[in-house]
Amino acid sequence: MDKGYENNRARMAGTIVGDVRLDHTLYGEAFYSMQLSIPRLSGVMDVLPLIVPGRLFNQLPQEGDLIEIEGQVRSYNKRIAEGSRLMVTLFARSFLMQAPETFEPRNEVMLCGYLCKPANFRTTPFSREIADLLLAVNRSYHKSDYLPCIAWGRNARFTRSLSVGERICLTGRLQSRAYQKCYEDGTVDERTTYEVSCSSLELMS
């Protein structure tokens, strides 16, 4: 297991939704993009962007197929009209088709990385305590993924004691969340963001 994979592991099982498309080609290998739908216990569906290397495919999955992946949560900056935007995706390192009679949804993420900026702690109008974090997670070949995370309750309160640069390990799930981007001219853009919702959070020495 490489060091980058020790810092960043995701295990997901869900349903392919929408089209499977060629995303890009790198060093002669094709990479395919698709979306993976995973239900939460509440019944809400997380629809997550997924990249699968062509070497993993004996046959491309189609909409409605059940799959399980082992991989990583990764990020990159995408150029848009107003500058750049941090994009978060799942990257599959291994891939299995699943049969309906044995399929169980799964959404598990483990990250170890460094706090990039002070946690943004706040309390909602309904008295829920929330904290937003940005974690830099080292990858192989001297690369890093910058991953937004969200903590709740006791975990959120714990983040107030953290300093920039401290190493943190967490477990949780990757979730999708819709929000509205409002502009000065009054127009509103409907967007989706992706973040790791923490179930446990630990400061590493």
- Closest to 190 measured CA to CA, from 205, 203, 178, 175: 178
Give me the chain's average pLDDT, please: 91
The structural domains of the chain, with segments of one domain joined by +, span: 3-106, 110-204
Q: Phi/psi of residue 159, each to 5°?
A: -65, -20
Residue 2 to residue 10: CA distance in whole angstroms: 14
Kindly state the percentage of the chain with pLDDT values over 70: 97
**115 pLDDT above the threshold of 60:** yes
Fold of 3-106: OB fold (Dihydrolipoamide Acetyltransferase, E2P) (2.40.50)
Taken in order 80, 84, 85, 86, is the CA torsion positive or negative? positive
110-204: CATH number: 2.40.50.140
Label residue 3 by pLDDT band (50, 70, 90): low
Q: How confident is the model at residue 179 (pLDDT cuts 50, 70, 90)?
A: confident
Check pLDDT > 80 for residue 15: yes
Cα–chain center distance at 12: 11
Tokens of 58: 């004996």
How many C-beta atoms lie closer than 10 Å to residue 112's C-beta? Answer: 17
Give the pLDDT confidence score for residue 188 in this predicted structure. Answer: 81
In this chain, the answer to whether the domains covering 3-106 and 110-204 adopt an identical fold is yes
